[in-house]
A and B are shown apart, each in its own frame.
Chain A
Amino acid sequence: MSILDVQDIKKTYTTRFGGNQVKALKGVSFTVEEGEYVAIMGESGSGKTTLLNILAALDKATGGKVLLDGKELSGIKDRELAAFRRKNLGFVFQEFNLLDTFSIKDNILLPMVLNGGDLKDMSEKLEKIASALGISELLDKFPYEVSGGQKQRAAAARALITSPKIILADEPTGALDSQSSEDLLKVFEKINNGGQTILMVTHSVNAAAHAKRVLFIRDGVVFHQIYKGDNSEEQFYQKISETLTMLRTGGER
């Protein structure tokens, strides 16, 4: 069974006085299997972020449904939503979103603490994840003391620590230099190889080339998708670039 099942999602924004309707998503459908690593690409305004917000249960779709591990997101009550997101979803944002009042360690532990985790269990998990992500040395530092790449790895650790069903990453390399981006993408690949499902929205062809499948969104619909298959990273990069060019020039499928 697929871990994420997106069925005909529509999102229509209505301007304040009800005059114009803007269709951000016009019916997006796709599925993500367990252990997959999917990148979603598209130009600004194509509806990527709207889609991600709906998947993250931060926003509600105006039509269609999203099933996470068989459970429909729109069926969850508002007051249970926060706990549901905390337990089932992991988030990595472009802006890191680390709390400046917490040390790196506490930032990573926060979701577990909120879930009411056991102290011993927490520190074991923290150790494992931190060493896997190469941030063991930084745990006692504060966000302002570490580099952007390190911050993003800490954010990834925070997303991973609750062992979520799926990690949603929104432009995770957007604020990083190329070396840090490369490091982070390697981390993503590593955790994906460990069986973690990842869904990533990105602009960067390079980032998308690390995924196993790329979905292209244009004008509010899934326009195209390509699999990495047996392609090498360079070949996949090439294919993605070509697809993007095609999208831009308005070619048909």
Chain B
Amino acid sequence: MKMGFYFKLALTNIKKNYRFFIPRILTESGLLGCFFIIFTLAQDERLSKIRGGSYLPTIMGFGSVVISILSFILVLYANSFLMKQRKKEFGLYNVLGMEKKHVGRVLFSESLISSVSAIVLGVILGVVFYKLCSILICKLLEADIILGFYFLRSKNVILSALIFLMMDFITFIFNRISIARMKPVELLKSANVGEKEPKIKWVNLILGTICLGAGYFIAVTTKDPLAAINSFFLAVLLVIAGTYMLFVSGTVFVLKCLKKNKKYFYTKDHMPAVSGLLFRMKQNAVGLASIAILATGVLIMLSTTVSLYSGCSMALKKSHPEDLYLSTAYYENGEKIMVPDEVIIDIAKNAAKEHDLSIKSIVVQEYGGGIYTFADGKLVSGLMGEFTLDFSKLMEFAIITEDYYEKMCGKKLSLAENEIAYCPISIGKKTFTDKLVMDDIEFKITETLDSFPVTNTGGSIIKSGGIVVANEEVFEKLIKIQEEKNVNAPDVEHRVAICYEDRKAMFENGFAMEESIKASLEEYIERNGSCVRDYMINGVWMDKAEMNGMYGTFLFLGIILGFVCLFSTALIIYYKQISEGYEDRVRFQIMKKIGMSETEVKKTIGSQIILVFFLPLIVAGIHVVFASPILVRLMKILLLASDSLFFICLAITFAIFGVVYILIYTGTARTYYKIVK
């Protein structure tokens, strides 16, 4: 027989089984499109050159690996489903006299046709949407949109196509092997083997409960952000395992209990539904657990990335209270000379004027301090126990003198040598009330201040506070111990801190202004005959560009991965609906014959389906709720602006996801009812 014959047969098969093939092809092309986009973003050097774009190659490179793995799993899933539904068909071929090698050829032709069409469609999708995505990236990074086309790199197209072709080839090999192993009679029979009522799997039930409970416990109780990184992955694994085990056993357990309750079970509304659900759960538990996990994944990815990205400028305000910090020194004959504050202020003022920015405030900040470990009611310089970083025990203190405080705030404190004024910036108010022991020196707190003239840029993981000491001597004493014990301690900070009126304009012109400040300082230093210099120009725009770059890239990856998970969810739901439809058709007809009206049958089936498909969504919701404490702590490291922002983002993501889920459900339910009728 010629190959053309097999192709014809394969084509008619695909047409006949369009309900299975079309979604498979569409999903595969969607995945390929996503992969192509992510993969090309990782390579596009025009994008990685823009400010904050340096994160693209690594994060997107990682993303393309994740997507290819997810795609492979999904392609295998779709394939296994397809094969299960078609076993009878292959058996028939065999009985009608086709040898297994001929069936193999038909299978090969089918794979080739569906694979090639998926790849062609996927590449088109990828190429079309790449431009859109690169514009989105530019928007996220707040850069100018790059015009022109980059994506038509044949290398990327070919590589993406090859990867998916490989996946399809591997699945074909799997299928070919399973066909070779099958006996024709089994092939014919396999679709209607009698089904046992599922039994409660006690081991799964107990283990699953333990895993889930442990996962939740870890997520809720882990307090230390750094430990949270490790325990988060442990919790994720535990919850995934628990979800699978409980979906398999817990649902059966609940339904069996309902069935045992005769009063409940033997009623018109409950009997058909509960029995139906018991069997449905047996076949669908794994699929439903997968949907629940994918849904949780989408929710977590989107809500975290969205909240990090959107909280960017809020977080910046916290970690970077003033917009620009300036201090410059130069060296003359090995001696360090600070550029006078007035000179720096002048230069900054001129630069602001030059770039149309008006200055809100200029202050000179002068403070010392560093990190202290808080234990047994005492503060000790440096990190106690060098390798265990317990953030909850660390505090960062800014120390200033009474003179400086008076200069800044205009209030005289009149402190004695052993007295301080204390400001609990982010330390709890009750931690220190009347005394404070710092490096074995006991201070009496005479006044608690509401605000502090300087804020050290510790970020939000470590609690910070400020104290005002009586004079230079006390100050020097404390700083000296800090310098000795704490390697990372900054010198005494002396800097000009500037705030600008219009933040938007500042972010736009900041970089240019920074350049002219640099040039002016350079000029000043050269005029003083030196060329060795030590700049500190720390503008909030630089941090913002970095944060935008990182979180924008994360957000984009989150969106794309969210799409991929959504595709997967849709495909699994769709295939579930179809397979259930074919099984329910028989039951539907029997029920009608023995005297149930169509509306009654529809009601019982409808209630089962709704429960089955919304259970994963509910489970995902519960997972996310339990995950949120640890997520909040993790994001503290990444400078999450506020907890409530995350919860708002989470609620919005959940609402949107819920709507999309319902749309997917109603769309596929239509196919289901078509099959059943």
Where the two chains meet, the residues of A that have a C-beta atom closer than 8 Å to any C-beta of B are 58, 79, 81-83, 85-86, 89, 91, 93, 97-103, 106, 109-111, 113-117, 119, 122, 142-145, 158
Contacts and interface: CB of A to CB of B under 8 A. Distances in A.
B72 to A, nearest CB: 35
Given A113-B268, A142-B196, A144-B194, A85 B595 contact: yes
B278 interface: yes
Contact of B271 (A81, A91, A100, A106): A106
Contact of B262 (A79, A85, A103, A119): A119
Contacts of A58: 593
A13 to B, nearest CB: 21
A93 B593 contact: yes
A86 B595 contact: yes
Given A101-B276, A103-B197, A81 B597 contact: yes
B594 interface: yes
B117 to A, nearest CB: 35
Given A110-B271, A142-B196, A97 B266 contact: no
Contacts of B597: 79, 81-83
Given A81-B597, A82-B595, A98-B590, 15 more contacts: A82-B596, A82-B597, A82-B600, A99-B275, A99-B587, A99-B591, A101-B275, A106-B271, A106-B275, A110-B271, A113-B267, A113-B268, A142-B196, A144-B195, A144-B196
Contacts of B590: 97-99
B230 interface: no
A156 B294 CA distance: 47
Contacts of A100: 194-195, 279, 587
Contacts of B593: 58, 91, 93, 97
B263 interface: yes
B599 interface: yes
Contacts of B272: 110
Interface string B584-609: 00010011011111111000000000
Contacts of A106: 271, 275
A103 B265 CA distance: 13
A109 B593 CA distance: 15
Most chain B CB within 10 A, of A85, A99, A115, A117, is at A99
Interface residues on B, range: 20 to 34
Contacts of A86: 594-596
A119 B263 contact: yes
11 contacts: A82-B600, A86-B596, A97-B594, A100-B194, A101-B197, A111-B595, A114-B595, A114-B600, A142-B194, A142-B196, A142-B197
A167 B229 CA distance: 70
Contacts of A93: 593
Interface in B253-292: 262-263, 266-268, 271-272, 275-276, 278-279
A116 B275 CA distance: 17
A122 B271 CA distance: 14
B334 to A, nearest CB: 90
A110 B594 contact: yes
Nearest to B587: A99
A109 B594 CA distance: 12
Top 3 A-B residue pairs of the complex, sorted by shortest distance between their CB atoms = A144-B194, A82-B597, A86-B595
A86 B592 CA distance: 10
A190 B135 CA distance: 82
A97 B595 CA distance: 12
A123 B366 CA distance: 90
Interface in B541-590: 587, 590
A102 B197 CA distance: 9
B426 to A, nearest CB: 60
A109 B595 contact: no
Contacts of B275: 99, 101-102, 106
A119 B266 CA distance: 7
A144 B193 CA distance: 8
A196 to B, nearest CB: 17
A140 to B, nearest CB: 10
A122 B266 contact: yes
Interface in B115-135: none
B256 to A, nearest CB: 13
B585 to A, nearest CB: 13
A109 B270 CA distance: 13
A158 B591 CA distance: 12
A100 B197 CA distance: 9
B268 A91 contact: no
A101 B279 contact: yes
Contacts of B196: 142, 144
A91 B276 contact: no
A83 B594 CA distance: 10
Contacts of A113: 266-268, 271
A156 to B, nearest CB: 12
Contacts of A158: 594
Contacts of B596: 82, 86, 114
A99 B594 CA distance: 10
B601 to A, nearest CB: 9
A91 B599 contact: no
Contacts of A99: 275, 587, 590-591
Interface string B127-153: 000000000000000000000000000
A99 B279 CA distance: 11
B189 to A, nearest CB: 13
A142 B196 CA distance: 7
A83 B276 CA distance: 21
A93 B586 CA distance: 14
Interface in B170-216: 194-197
Contact of B268 (A89, A98, A116): A116
A114 B266 contact: no
A65 B276 CA distance: 38
Nearest to A155: B594
B597 to A, nearest CB: 3
B283 to A, nearest CB: 11
Contacts of B271: 106, 109-110, 113
Contacts of A115: 268
A109 B272 CA distance: 11
Contacts of A145: 194
B282 to A, nearest CB: 10
Contacts of A103: 197
Contacts of A142: 194-197
Nearest to A93: B593
A76 to B, nearest CB: 12
Contacts of B195: 100-101, 142, 144
Given A110-B594, A119-B266, A79 B599 contact: yes
B33 to A, nearest CB: 41
Interface in B299-327: none
B273 to A, nearest CB: 10
Contacts of A144: 194-196
Given A82-B596, A82-B597, A119-B262, A114 B587 contact: no
A81 to B, nearest CB: 7
A139 B455 CA distance: 79
A81 B596 CA distance: 9
A119 B263 CA distance: 7
Interface string B233-266: 0000000000000000000000000000011001
A144 B593 CA distance: 20
Contacts of A116: 267-268
Nearest to B595: A86
A114 B194 contact: no
Interface string B338-377: 0000000000000000000000000000000000000000
A111 B592 CA distance: 11
B431 to A, nearest CB: 63
Contacts of B194: 100, 142-145
Contacts of B266: 109, 113, 117, 119, 122
Most chain A CB within 10 A, of B271, B595, B600, is at B595
